[in-house]
Amino acid sequence: AGLLLSFHKRLKSSCGGFNKISEWYGYLKDHLQPILNEYGDELPPEMLKKIKGAMKLTDESKTGINEACQALQGDIGKVAAGLAGRGFFGSTVLGTFLVGALAVGGLVAYLKFAAVTLTLTNDGCDAMTLSGNIPVNLPGLSVPPDPIRNGQSATLTVPPLRATVDGTSPGGITVTTFGFTLRFAVDPSIRVTLDGESLNGKRTEVNLGNLPTHKAIVSCR
């Protein structure tokens, strides 16, 4: 993942600068082909097909080259998102990429790049303040600075991690992910749902990478 992320960043800054077909194919030969040679066999076939499809040019004009560049950039992004959707630690393929990401310091960049959005709605509760109340600083985590008042919604970005949510303890919900545990005080009368599923009174396995967007509701009615 670290190598793919580095290539994606480099490609993003290069699109628009290719004038000749030889420049484009030379760029791919130097920067992308070594990654495919090393990891291509471990990528899911449909993901590899997307990348190779975007490498082929049907229009060799400058406009066509740079449209292909934009398409390839998008497909590389989809591959990374697809890997995130497999659950971050949920596959051998992703484990292989994770080793590379750690080796080159790309894990932080990966979590930020693949972060998903979470819409949090306050349904009948006192104002909820998230900023300053989350005791860890996860890459890819961004919370609204202002309180979320009754009837309001706010958008967060969260890293695409798996988590275990334990709502069985009275007066609190515990979230375990990425090797640490967070406990949030929640009055027993407050109901919390994620993507339509209640988190109260049971243990729930959550995979935030399986969808690009999620919806959570905190209800005090």
Instruction: Show me where the domains of the chain are located.
Output: 2-109, 115-219
- Residue 88: count other Cβ atoms within 10 Å of its Cβ: 24
pLDDT in tens, 30-52: 888 887 776 676 666 776 777 77
The pairing of beta strand 197-198 with beta strand 116-123 = unpaired
Whether residue 105 has pLDDT greater than 70: no
Q: What is the pLDDT of residue 92?
A: 36
Per DSSP, the three-state class of 177 is strand
pLDDT in tens, 75-99: 776 665 555 444 433 333 344 444 3
pLDDT in tens, 106-150: 455 556 667 789 999 999 999 988 876 665 566 778 888 899 999
Q: What is the pLDDT of residue 91?
A: 39
Sign of CA dihedral 39, 77, 140, 89: negative
Of the chain, the percentage scoring pLDDT greater than 70 comes to 71
Contact 116, 141 (CB under 8 A): no
